[in-house]
Amino acid sequence: MVRYLCLFIGNSVLLILMGRLMLFPEFKFVFIFLPILGGVFYFFYSKNRSNYLVSLLLIASVIFYALPNWSDSYIIISSIVFNYACYKVMHIWKNKEKLILYSGVAFNLLLICYFKYSFFIVDNISYITGHSWHFEKFILPVGISFYTFQQIAFLVDCYRDKSVNYNFKEYALFVSFFPQLIAGPIVHHKELMPQLMRLSDQKISSKLVSLGVAIFIVGVFKKLVLADNFAPISDTIFGQFDDGLILDSLSAWIGAVSYSLQLYFDFSAYSDMAVGLGLMFGIQLPINFNSPYKAVSVIDFWRRWHITLSAFLRDYLYIALGGNRHGNIRRYTNLLLTMLIGGLWHGAGWGFIIWGGIHGCYLIINHAYRYMYKQYNFLLLPVYLCQVITVLAVILAWVFFRSENLTGALLMIKSMFFLGEALKVTIWTSLDLIFIVMGLFTVFFLPNTLQFFAYKPDNKLWYEAFNCSMGGVCFFKTRYGVMLGFLAAISLMFMPKQTVFIYFNF
């Protein structure tokens, strides 16, 4: 047993030392790291050594994250150790629980503020005071926004629920599990920890593993073939506006829609790959993305886009601020504050804060409209019109999210509404336009991956039903096998190109 584990560790170390962090849709992950890990994992499983599985996944997660980021690995290690210590001490010193909770939350917030926002704060203080303060900008530690929020939620829940009892190994894997560590989902401990605790006793179905492989392949295709090919279009047009050049309205809309599609497929791809990888190792991760551009309102949009972040902001910020318990004015204030903080979570820049503020205003308008309809039978719009209004509002807000500076964002918004003089410069092709139309058709008229495979991790009966009847689409049929093979073959053609997930920056 030991020699197989050593083989996995040795090969993985050599592999990762060759370069930067492995990304899921890369050759060295798909053809070296994942097969070696899977082989060792299922070798232990087949030999009834399931008690090694949690340790193996923890080692794999450490290798995946820490070796290529060895200079920053102390951050996540110290974060895991400190938060677990807070959790343990909270159970021992019951009369000091609140103090320990506040200390733990403060530590996590200070950690993320120092590494993510310190330079932004110093720059703004320098601008306001007129003094030149020098503060070196950090390269953002990978995944810090995700594992920090995940552990804040854990501490708050441990304070509320005294029955929580986890060992350090399971907790460390809960935080560092490699499929969800870098860009989510932000997993709640009650969703993941029970699965880790029973991993050694659980029967891992070959059908479930095959489903994971299928979802992973679709995610790779979305990233390499769709998202990465929208990027050049949006980058070119946004770059022109950021440099102060004002393009015509059509070009501005093409740039905004291209980025909206790039971000959609990029985040959707990562979410699919995370779910697929989890299933390969018998772990069901929560759904984090559910066709948000089909939303009929901004409220509905935030129930579909980055679902786990929305749940965190609702449960641990909005409700903590008072939620809707103190009248409409307080409710709307809480909504705006929550979305401003949600915008700031995405990045240290005024564009992100403005984007969050815009969505806060959208939500206020949305809730006010619902109130008017319920109280006074206000005008009820058709569903299709609600969808159009929602997606247009979301696209406009993405302009501030994507632009490198506020001047470029404002110039682009002006151009989109035919305001001001615009240069007639064609920096897109008819092929780009056809690609955008195909992307829009995929978004609005095709089922998403998890709908296609009927993946429902929140349904406790789903797992058993799937194992018994295969559930959803039976991709073992020839036509589905051919389709997945085709997607995999096309993805391999694009795999040599360098890629990065947008949410890695957050």
Q: Which amino acid is at 152?
A: I
The verdict on whether 189 is a catalytic residue reads no
CA distance 252 to 173: 45
Please state, in angstroms and rounded to a whole number, the distance separating the CA atoms of residues 350 and 227: 25
Q: What are phi and psi of 135, to 5 degrees?
A: -145, 120
Instruction: State the Cα angle at 304 between 298 and 309, rounded to 5°.
Output: 95
d(CA 466, CA 200): 20
Catalytic residue among 188, 189, 346, 367: 346
Q: What residues contact 114, with CB distance under 8 A and at least 6 apart?
A: none
Phi and psi (nearest 5°) for 165?
Answer: -150, 100
The number of CA neighbours under 13 Å toward the Cβ of 446 is 11
Q: Which of 422, 50, 9 is nearest to 204 (CA)?
A: 50
Residue where the block lists tokens 């050759």: 27
Residues 51-84 as b/e (b if ≥16 CB within 10 A, e otherwise) read ebbbebbbbbbbbbbbbbbeebbebbeebbebbb
Q: Rounded to the nearest 5°, which phi and psi values hold at 306? A: 40, 60
Q: Is the dihedral of CA 456, 462, 468, 469 positive or negative?
A: negative
305 backbone dihedrals φ, ψ, rounded to 5°:
-100, 130
Contacting residues for 200 by C-beta, under 8 A, at least 6 apart: 50, 51, 53, 54
Q: Is 305 helix (H, G, I), strand (E, B) or coil?
A: strand
Distance CA 172, CA 79 (A): 10
Three-point CA angle 286, 290, 296, nearest 5°: 140
CB 14 within 8 A of CB 65: no
Q: Are 301 and 321 in contact (CB under 8 A)?
A: no
| Rg, the chain, Cα only | 24
- H-type helices in 246-327, by residue range? 249-280, 298-301, 307-313
Largest CA distance in the chain: 73
User: Which active-site residues does the annotation give?
Assistant: 346
